[in-house]
C-alpha cells in the first residue's frame, strides 16, 4: 500500500531565509512523487514531480525537491522564501502501476516579513 507523511502541520520561516517542507513516503515499487501548492480559496496547483532521473528536481516559482531513495523522502526546498510563498503545500505519491495519487495531510507554510 502507498502512503505519504508530512510530519509538520505548520512551518514558519523568515522572508529571505531558506525553507524546507518535509515529505516521506512508502510504496511497494518505484515511486512517482509530486508537490502541489494551494493558495486560499483556490485549487491545488502543480509545483514539480519526480518520475525518474536526477534526484534533484526543479519546479515552478523557484522551488526544488530532492528525491532520497534510502530515506524515502522528497523534501521541498527553496533557497530564499518570499511572503507570497505562504500557502498550504501537499506532497503526493503514486507507485508505478497504481491508479491514482495518494496525498499527504498538508503543511501550512507561513513566511514572515
Partner 1 sequence: DADVTQTPRNRITKTGKRIMLECSQTKGHDRMYWYRQDPGLGLRLIYYSFDVKDINKGEISDGYSVSRQAQAKFSLSLESAIPNQTALYFCATSRAGNGYTFGSGTRLTVV
The residues of the shown chain that bind partner 1, judged by CB under 8 A, are 9, 32, 34, 36, 41-46, 49, 51, 90, 99-106
- Extract the C-alpha cell encoding 34: 509530486
CB of 79 to partner 1, least distance (A): 23
Coil, strand, or helix at residue 15?
A: coil
Nearer to partner 1, 46 or 61 (CB): 46
**Bridge-partner residues for 26, per DSSP?**
3
CB of 112 to partner 1, least distance (A): 22
Closer to partner 1 by CB, 54 or 113: give it: 54
**Of the candidates 86, 85, 65, 68, which has an alpha carbon nearest to the alpha carbon of residue 77?**
65
Least CB distance from residue 104 to partner 1, whole Å?
6
CA angle centred on 89, ends 75 and 23, rounded to 5°: 30
Amino acid at each position: 500500500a502507498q502512503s505519504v507523511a508530512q510530519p509538520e502541520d505548520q512551518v514558519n520561516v523568515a522572508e529571505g531565509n531558506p525553507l524546507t517542507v518535509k515529505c516521506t513516503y512508502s510504496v511497494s515499487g518505484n515511486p512517482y512523487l509530486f508537490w502541489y501548492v494551494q493558495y486560499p480559496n483556490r485549487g491545488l496547483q502543480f509545483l514539480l514531480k519526480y518520475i525518474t532521473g536526477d534526484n534533484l528536481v526543479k519546479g515552478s516559482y523557484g522551488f526544488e525537491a530532492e528525491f532520497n531513495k534510502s530515506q524515502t523522502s522528497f523534501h521541498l526546498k527553496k533557497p530564499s522564501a518570499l511572503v507570497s510563498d505562504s500557502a498550504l503545500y501537499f506532497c503526493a505519491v503514486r507507485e508505478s502501476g497504481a491508479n491514482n495519487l495518494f496525498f499527504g495531510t498538508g503543511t501550512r507554510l507561513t513566511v514572515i516579513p
